[in-house]
Structure 1
C-alpha cells in the first residue's frame, strides 16, 4: 500500500513539475511581471497637471522601467481626466449598478522638433460597481476603489500605446 501511494505521489509531482516548466515555453506569464513590462522606451517627459491619474501614470511608467526626465526624446502630454457616472439600474433606491467612465486626452511628441507621433487622442476606460443607498460610506469607498482601478487601467493602456509606438518608430 505504501509503495502505491509513493508511486502515485511521485508521478503527480513529476507531472506538476513538467507542467510548470512547460508554461514559460508556451508564452505564459503572470500579468505585471517579466518582459511584458518593458516598453522599449528608456526616458520620457510627462507633461501633465498633478492629479491622481498622473500619479498612477507615473507609477506605471516607473514600473515599466521608464525614467521621467526633462531631457527625454519623447513627451507624453496628458490632459485632464473626465469622469462620468451612469446609473444602469432602473430604480433610484436600493442596490444600484453604476458604470464609471474615465476619459483622458493624450498625445505623444518628439521633444527635438515637437512633431506629433500620436496626435491628440482620447482614451476611455469603463468599469461597473454596485452601490446601496442605505450604505453611503461603503458606496463612496466602492466608488473610490473603482476609480483607482480605472486609473491603473488607463495608465497600463498608455504604456501599451508607448510599446506599440516604439515598435513602429
Structure 2
C-alpha cells in the first residue's frame, strides 16, 4: 500500500458510521467483526501507550540539570470516584523518574489517608498534570484496569510501557 492509501483507509476507519463503511462492515461475517474489534482495541491501546511514552519523554527532557538522562518513569495507582462508584486508575503524576534500570521502591507506605474532595482532586489534576498524559493514562486504565499495588513503568529508550505487579 502507498502512503495515500493508508491515509484513506485510516480516514474511513475513523468514521465507521459513514454509508460506505457501514455497508462494508455489515457485509462482514460475525467472526471477522470480532477479530476486527479485537485488533482495533489492541491498536488503540498501543496508541495510548505511545502517547504516554511520548509525554513522559517530553517531561524528562524538560528537567533541569546536566546529570544522566532519565531511563524510566513510574506511575502509581489512585482511586477515582466515578458515577458507578470507586475505580482504580493511574495517577497522572510521575511517582519516580530514574536515571538507571533499577526499579525504585514504590511500595505504599503506612500513612494517614484523608479523602480528597472530588473537586479538589480534579483541580489539582487540571492545574498540575499534563492533560495529554492524563488522558492517555485514563484510557490505558480503561483497557487494562490496574490493581491497587500495580506500578506502570515507562522505559524511555524503548518507549515500552508495562504494568508491573510487585
Same fold, TM-score > 0.5, yes or no: no
Relative to the length of structure 1, the TM-score reads: 0.25
Higher relative contact order (CA 8 A, sep 6+): 2
Structure-2-length-normalised TM-score? 0.26
The structure with the greater share of residues assigned to strand is 1
